């Protein structure tokens, strides 16, 4: 049985690049550590996928970095492709990847990012089954976005969508329906953008035994403990001067 092609859109973690809402709460260095742990979790998923995998870094200069990441893994490198994203909005970039992959003969596509550690192989396998009856499968997130965008027909023009808003899932659903695409939704999950999401990591992934997830959970616990300790010190100091 053939499997859909799994596409990971990612950024190379670096302090000051990505996860800026999180960085405002915990600092650039810790936010970068979270980004690295999230990327490791996403790689854990894509490298265990039995079908073709496409890793799409945000910057063409990171092509070699991705290749080095893959070479460090004990996997079949032949089924893993590196396809950097073009410049422009996220919608333009996904549309471009969609066109390129379809031109190469890949018809069933699953797009994921690196910031939704609750994605499971069960989710991905469910998409394969849902594709028998629908054109688009989305995994909503609690903040109104989506963590999985899967399609077996070309995406409509995504360039005018307002990404990273509480209305995104609703707007994307409406756009697909406008173009006659049938849609199914997976169970709602979460992605990691804010400090509160670290608590979700600890709670939601408490029983997840995937190695990269265990590392992510321990990092989240450490950061929560650091923030709690700092808050206690600040509170104690304020009480002393009250």
For 133-164, how does the pLDDT look when each residue is reduced to its tens digit (9 = 90+)? Answer: 999 999 999 999 999 999 999 999 999 999 98
Contact 71, 141 (CB under 8 A): no
For 13-32, how does the pLDDT look when each residue is reduced to its tens digit (9 = 90+)? Answer: 999 887 889 999 999 999 99
pLDDT of residue 232: 53
For 51-68, how does the pLDDT look when each residue is reduced to its tens digit (9 = 90+)? Answer: 999 999 999 999 999 998
Instruction: Give Cβ neighbours of residue 169 (< 8 Å, ≥ 6 apart).
Output: 138, 140, 141, 144, 145, 146
pLDDT of residue 75: 72
| Phi and psi based region of residue 88 (left: phi greater than 0; alpha: psi -120 to 50; beta: remaining) | left
Fold for 5-194, please state it: Spore Coat Polysaccharide Biosynthesis Protein SpsA; Chain A (3.90.550)
pTM: 0.93
Contact 46, 119 (CB under 8 A): no
Residue among 71, 44, 72, 70 nearest 57 (CA):
70
DSSP 134: -
pLDDT at 236 over 50: no
């Amino acid at each position: 049985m053939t499997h859909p092609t799994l596409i990971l859109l990612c950024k190379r973690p670096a302090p000051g690049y990505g996860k800026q809402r999180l960085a405002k709460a915990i600092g650039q260095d810790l936010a970068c550590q979270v980004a690295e742990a999230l990327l490791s979790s996403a790689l854990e998923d894509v490298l265990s996928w039995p079908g073709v995998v496409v890793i799409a870094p945000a910057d063409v200069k990171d092509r070699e970095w991705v290749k080095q990441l893959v070479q460090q893994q004990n996997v079949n490198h032949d089924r893993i492709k590196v396809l950097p994203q073009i410049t422009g909005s996220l919608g333009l970039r996904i549309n471009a990847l969609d066109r390129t992959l379809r031109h190469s003969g890949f018809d069933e596509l699953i797009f994921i990012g690196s910031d939704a550690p609750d994605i499971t192989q069960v989710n991905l396998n469910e998409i394969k089954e849902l594709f028998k009856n629908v054109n688009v499968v989305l995994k909503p997130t609690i903040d109104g976005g989506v963590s999985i965008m899967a399609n077996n027909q070309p995406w409509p023009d995504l360039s005018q969508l307002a990404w990273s808003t509480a209305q995104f899932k609703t707007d994307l659903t409406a756009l697909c329906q406008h173009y006659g695409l049938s849609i199914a939704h997976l169970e709602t999950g979460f992605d990691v953008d804010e400090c509160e999401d670290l608590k979700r990591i600890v709670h939601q992934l408490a029983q997840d035994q995937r190695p990269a997830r265990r590392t992510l959970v321990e990092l989240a616990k450490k950061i929560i403990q650091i923030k709690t300790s700092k808050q206690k010190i600040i509170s104690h100091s304020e009480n002393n001067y009250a």
